[in-house]
Structure 1
Amino acid sequence: MSGVAPERLDRFMARANAAYYARRDPFADFVTAPEISQMFGEILGAWVAVTWQGMGRPDPFLLAEAGPGRGTLMADMTRLLARVAPDCHAAARVHLVETSPRLRDAQRAALAERTAHPVAWHDRIADLPDGPMILLANEFLDALPIRQFVRAGAGWNERFVQGVGFVDQPAADLPEGPFDRPVPEGEILECCPEALEIARGLAARFARAPGTALVIDYGYDGALWGDSLQALRDGQPDWPLADPGQADLTAHVDFAAFAGAAAGAACHGSVTQGALLTALGLFARAGQLARGRSPVEAHAIHDAAQRLAAPDRMGRLFRALAITSPGLPAPPGFAVGPGA
């Protein structure tokens, strides 16, 4: 493959994932938290209602989701809001950030008659209209394209894709990122410029109008480094450079870098998903749902709660970070302390 020109990793990843989400059903390869149990969406629906009150009950406000998948999370949240917080439900204008026409169709079907007002779609978070906003992004940032840099003495090389392998080239430009970390010689530092730009954009937006963003994803918090690029194909790990467009390419989210890029806004967390959901009452909700059910049904409900929150399952690998306008109260679930 020596005749193939090297392609920068983030450009390869963007091209591969665009093809993947346009042609394949990602839910054949992985299951997200909203698909595991309705409890996830119900808990976050209640979180939205309390957060909205803390923002001064703006009417209207944008209830936005980035990367809404099949629309399951938004459907569960709006169903809960209609039942227990009708004023919030009536004030919400649902906006979804989604580029895949096929997934937009699935979201349209999932949200039919769930929302008080018509749903709007956008290609980018930056395209969302101005005004008060609550944004949720569950497993969204992990699919954004990353760049990888290799420590080389006092400088850096950058990883490019050539064929089905990597080649290193001297870094021609360094984006804004965590390059002050003490990365050892030959080790990899990942940077996601698009995620950092989103964080900067949210901070600027929340300085103009009240807002809160909740980001939930798998990742790490702290001055860390390493190669986290991975691929899932037909539900199994795959080599990320093989057959671009046939596998879902993701990388762990650098929560410390994301929070650092949101300068000027208030950041809460990150905390583990398990700590957040437990603080929001996940296990109490599971007990309510299991009451009066058959033993098999009750076990399935409790197992779903464990799958979402247990440390040896999704509870520790996934983390949550909230970004708010300065002066707003800490969102529910974030009194548990950073790093929990």
Structure 2
Amino acid sequence: MSLRDRLTALIAAGGPISVAQYMTACLHDPNDGYYATRPAIGEDGDFITAPMISQMFGELIGVWAAAAWELMGQPDTLRLIEMGPGDGTLMDDILRTLRHAPGFLEAADVWLVETSPPLRALQADRLGERVRWAATLAEIPDGAPLILVANELLDCLPARQFVRTAIGWAEQVVGLDGEGELAFGLAATPVGALLPDAAPGQVFEQSAAQAALGAELGARIAADGGAALLIDYGRAEPGFGDTLQALRRHEKVDPLWNPGEADLTVHADFPAVMAAARAEGCEAALLTQTDFLARMGIGARAEALVRAAPRRSGTIGRQLTRLIGADEMGELFKVCALHSPDWTPPAFENLSVLEDA
């Protein structure tokens, strides 16, 4: 039985499900979920991420990690962690760069947090015995400071959607239409009084999973020290909007089309993630991807690559524009740093951090 058929039967028997429940099933169902069975990343897949666009992205994350380690006092033991590592390209570029940071790799215990069997296989092919795997952050031993990176992880965490109607808030749910097909609808919600005021028609998204990750990282960093770098597309301030989308072959498709066959995402809610981390005793700051990469020296790195390979100057220029252009990834994508209160990570010095919502 297909995932669509199983979801249809589930809804027919028990009523509509939340958008968050639908996302979880589509992405992580062990038999038919997108990431569990058929993730397709890259030019020939469904979507492409920054590490695949240019080596410069991963190299600068590696430079950031090395500089952060130095600011931490170069601890002898360190957990270097990537959550949601895709096909392993980002960690490969990070580790290659960190070979130029004397002592770092000797101190670092390298972990990947990954639940997808197909992606673990790709990571193993690329990275071999240089890394270890865990299904959750909690499985990685504590007791040592961490440097953690997560690129395009938050957007894959499920969110509920609430719609302001003329008479109050309702939750957007996935149910069945008159012909028994999956369809969006509205259901009464007991949490309406807790939601912000808005005009009719506005959509408010709330991701308990994103906030929970912020809290988990905040508690871990507050206890053991270190920093986390969360990179994703999303909002820098609380706001409204329906950001649920499904991608198939780099094109948007109906989120209800063939559950499990497309990647489903929502925008990262950085204010909620940062507030949850701060509540656990961690500090937080936010930059656009443009500002972060510029502060880390992407312009100089691009010039060096062009000098080494002049024939690739056009390609390198296009890659640079894709990563930092205001109409490309540069403004929509944000870089969030969660860190111990006693120091500030590279690129985030002298910032006015985002105020709690």
Please, what TM-score do these two structures have when normalized by structure 2? 0.87
Classify the secondary structure of the residue corresponding to 1:316: coil
Distance 1:279 1:179 in 2: 39
Alpha-carbon offset, residue 25 of structure 1: 3.3
**Which residue of structure 1 aligns with residue 150 of structure 2?**
137
**Which residue of structure 2 aligns with residue 26 of structure 1?**
40
Alpha-carbon offset, residue 320 of structure 1: 0.6
- Pair 1:237-2:245 in alignment: no
Distance 1:156 1:213 in 2: 35
**Which residue of structure 1 aligns with residue 171 of structure 2?**
158
Choose the corresponding residue for 2:124, options 108, 111, 126: 108
Choose the corresponding residue for 1:16, options 17, 26, 35: 26
Task: Tell me if the contact between 1:275 and 1:336 (Cα under 8 Å) persists in the aligned partners.
Answer: no
**Which residue of structure 2 aligns with residue 169 of structure 1?**
187
- Pair 1:149-2:162 in alignment: yes
Equivalent position amino acid for 2:198 in 1:
V
Classify the secondary structure of the residue corresponding to 1:86: coil
Distance 2:190 2:132 in 1: 40
Gapped runs of 5+ residues in structure 1? none
Equivalent position amino acid for 1:107 in 2:
Q
- Pair 1:97-2:113 in alignment: yes
Task: Tell me if the contact between 1:158 and 1:168 (Cα under 8 Å) persists in the aligned partners.
Answer: yes
Q: Deviations over 1:204-240 (max 9, x none)?
A: 1122111201000000111211110000012211011
Classify the secondary structure of the residue corresponding to 2:158: coil
**Which residue of structure 1 aligns with residue 88 of structure 2?**
71
Distance 1:339 1:184 in 2: 29
Equivalent position amino acid for 1:168 in 2:
L
Distance verdict in 2 for CA 1:25–1:3, change over 3 Å: closer
Distance verdict in 2 for CA 1:189–1:311, change over 3 Å: same
Alpha-carbon offset, residue 293 of structure 1: 2.0
Distance verdict in 2 for CA 1:338–1:153, change over 3 Å: farther
Alpha-carbon offset, residue 23 of structure 1: 2.3
Task: Tell me if the contact between 2:39 and 2:118 (Cα under 8 Å) persists in the aligned partners.
Answer: no
Query: How many residues of Structure 1 are paired with residues of Structure 2 in the alignment?
Result: 329
Choose the corresponding residue for 1:320, options 335, 347, 352: 335
**After superposition, where does 1:260-275 map in structure 2 within 5 Å?**
260-262=275-277, 263=279, 264-269=281-286, 271-275=287-291
Equivalent position amino acid for 1:219 in 2:
G
Alpha-carbon offset, residue 202 of structure 1: 1.4
**Which residue of structure 1 aligns with residue 4 of structure 2?**
none
Classify the secondary structure of the residue corresponding to 2:90: helix
Distance 1:39 1:150 in 2: 41
Distance 1:180 1:12 in 2: 22
Distance 2:244 2:194 in 1: 18
Please, what TM-score do these two structures have when normalized by structure 1? 0.91
Q: CA RMSD in A?
A: 2.1
Alpha-carbon offset, residue 299 of structure 1: 1.4
Gapped runs of 5+ residues in structure 2? 1-7, 176-180
Equivalent position amino acid for 1:171 in 2:
T
Equivalent position amino acid for 1:260 in 2:
A
Equivalent position amino acid for 1:288 in 2:
A
**Which residue of structure 1 aligns with residue 139 of structure 2?**
127
**After superposition, where does 1:39-58 map in structure 2 within 5 Å?**
39-58=56-75
Distance 1:307 1:180 in 2: 36
Alpha-carbon offset, residue 339 of structure 1: 8.6
**After superposition, where does 1:194-209 map in structure 2 within 5 Å?**
194-209=209-224
Distance 1:292 1:241 in 2: 47
Task: Tell me if the contact between 2:27 and 2:263 (Cα under 8 Å) persists in the aligned partners.
Answer: yes
Q: State which drifts further: 312-321 or 179-188.
A: 179-188
Equivalent position amino acid for 1:291 in 2:
R
Classify the secondary structure of the residue corresponding to 1:240: coil
- Pair 1:308-2:340 in alignment: no
Distance 1:184 1:242 in 2: 30
Equivalent position amino acid for 2:242 in 1:
D
**Which residue of structure 2 aligns with residue 255 of structure 1?**
270
Alpha-carbon offset, residue 112 of structure 1: 2.5
Distance 2:81 2:163 in 1: 36
Distance verdict in 2 for CA 1:109–1:180, change over 3 Å: same
Alpha-carbon offset, residue 326 of structure 1: 1.4
Alpha-carbon offset, residue 152 of structure 1: 4.5
Equivalent position amino acid for 1:87 in 2:
G
